[in-house]
A and B are shown apart, each in its own frame.
Chain A
């Protein structure tokens, strides 16, 4: 049973560029959340997707956008990259009927902006 998979694992971009990160949820999960984890900090909620719609959004600018596909996989897009966008981006999946609220995380995509 595959867990949450993310790609790419590492990438380097320059300021002003755009990046797309991808996530496949754990088998049986239908909800995907994205988090940004700066070095030495806890994960910060970006947004959550369910039924191909953004269900809730954290305090991130519109440069951060996402998409969920019919197979529940998801993409995170960041436009006009800033140096401060350098971070580990984590995808977490869950099942909408779970009453525990447990999240299952991928290993993350480490983005470096130069």
Chain B
């Protein structure tokens, strides 16, 4: 079945460091891909999305490119801030109506 695998956390970085969180997926057909973020005490919110191969989603300095050949959708940011500390979830929506989430990667950014 469809699934999402993302790197385990926690990831601890200093402010202004470069961030990569790896995400790979297994799906039939051509899924839409998402990154959601969950700040402490809040619900999940969409960070960025890509709906077809080679699309790049971007928001708040974060980027991810839909790579069909490697079935990947890695999240990157060039310079993280303390306020980026949160849990990041990679997700896909293929056929049907459900969105499938990865296990999440917790990011800690130190000042």
B96:A56 contact, CB within 8 angstroms: yes
For the complex, what is the distance from the CA of A90 to the CA of B93, rounded to whole Å?
17
- Mostly, the B contact residues are strand
Chain B residues whose C-beta falls within 8 Å of the C-beta of A105 in the assembled complex: 36, 43-45
Task: Provide the residues of chain A in CB contact with B99, threshold 8 Å.
Answer: 33, 45, 92, 101, 103
B43: chain A residues at CB < 8 Å are 4, 90, 105-108
The answer to whether B101 touches A43 (Cβ under 8 A) is: yes
Q: Determine the residue in chain A with the shortest Cβ distance to B92.
A: A101
| Interface contact B103-A45, CB-CB below 8 Å | no
Q: How far is the CA of A44 from the CA of B99 in the complex (A)?
A: 9
* Complex contact B46–A41 (CB within 8 A): no
- Contact across chains for B34 and A102 when beta carbons are under 8 A apart: yes
Q: Is the CB of B93 within 8 A of A101?
A: yes
Least Cβ distance of B106 to chain A in Å? 9
* Cα distance, A3 to B77, chains bound together (Å): 28
* A55 within 8 Å of B (CB atoms): yes
| Cα distance, A4 to B44, chains bound together (Å) | 11
Contacts of A45 in B (CB 8 A): 98-100
> A108 contacts which chain B residues (CB < 8 A)?
43
Confirm or deny: B51 has a beta carbon within 8 angstroms of a beta carbon on chain A.
Answer: yes
Chain B 1-13 per-residue mask, 1 if CB under 8 angstroms from chain A, else 0 = 0001000000000
Q: Report the minimum CB–CB distance from B15 to chain A (whole Å).
A: 25
Complex Cα gap A58–B98 (Å): 8
6 A/B residue pairs, CB under 8 Å, sorted by A: A42-B89, A42-B102, A48-B97, A90-B43, A101-B32, A101-B34
Interface residues of B (CB under 8 A from A): 4, 32, 34, 36, 41-46, 49, 51, 89, 91, 93, 96-104
